[in-house]
Amino acid sequence: MPFHRLRQQVSEYSALLHARGWVANHDGNVSVREGPGEFLCTPTAWSKRSVGTEDVLVVDRDGKVRQGRHKVFGEWHLHKAVFQARPDVNAILHAHPPTACGFAVAGRPLGRPGIAEMVVSLGADIPLIPYGAPKSDVLERAVATSAEVYDAVVLANHGVMTWGDDLEQAYLRMELVEHWARILAVAHQLGGPVMLPDADVQKLLEARTAAGLGPKARSPLLKKPG
Ligand SMILES: [Zn+2]
């Protein structure tokens, strides 16, 4: 994709995070891999409502600004951890969608998606990463480890990160995580979710692999039992 189009996309998906009500104040960030060791991302301390193409930064893998008038966001190290762990990932979103964040604040994992199509799209689990102070190495390592297996994670008392081949895929995953959180909240009100059996999840994960989604073979549930 041409550089100017990628820049536009960062601006567009940034605005979408705001339009969907998934960020407030300066929350959230957007990044894409532009080339080897080069990335585009949103600036720090900026409403995602109004990131213009001229505000999008070019940074290296350490978050050093190569082009742009603003500073990179403090959570860059978490994006870097995902980009390093997953060479197939080209785009990352971070946001604070309210229902998923409700679970994050309550310390309740979103866990395994309870709807078949969601397992195909998101995998066998949406892990809850224990709280880590901003900029902590522990949090960075936990995100890197999860990225090897998953495409969406919830950070306790913080927010959600999703990633994918491109911003559209990362965006749809964010949408799905929030949608699942809303469904799960209702299921809890109705007596609790009835989860899909392992054998069925196995088949869905095979369909996921066949569709070329996710880090595939690394999913623990994909290993043949026994
Ligand atoms: Zn955040």
Q: List the pLDDT tens digit at each of the 226 positions of the chain.
A: 888 999 999 999 999 999 999 999 999 999 999 999 999 999 999 999 999 999 999 999 999 999 999 999 999 999 999 999 999 999 999 999 999 999 999 999 999 999 999 999 999 999 999 998 888 899 999 999 999 999 999 999 999 999 999 999 999 999 999 999 999 999 999 999 999 999 999 999 999 988 888 774 444 444 433 3
Question: Which pLDDT score is estimated for 217?
Answer: 40
Contact 126, 150 (CB under 8 A): yes
CA of 202 to the centre of ligand 1 (A): 32
Q: What's the 211 CA to ligand 1 centre distance in angstroms?
A: 31
Give the helix, strand, coil percentages of the chain, each rounded to 5: 45, 15, 40
Q: Indicate the helix (H) or strand (E) that contains 173.
A: helix 167-189
Between the CA of 219 and the centroid of ligand 1 the distance, in Å, is 26
| Catalytic hit among 38, 75, 140, 168 | 75
Give me ligand 1 centre to Cα 72, in Å. Answer: 13
List residues bridging with 159 in a β-sheet.
Answer: 155
74 Cα to the center of ligand 1, angstroms: 9
Is 117 labeled as catalytic in the residue annotation? no
* Matching residue, tokens 């310390």: 107
Q: Do strands 91-95 and 57-60 pair parallel, antiparallel, or not at all (unpaired)?
A: unpaired
What was the pLDDT predicted at 207? 92
Residue 209 has which token pair? 């692999």
pTM of full prediction above 0.75: yes
Q: Residue 218 and residue 85: Cα distance in Å, rounded?
A: 12
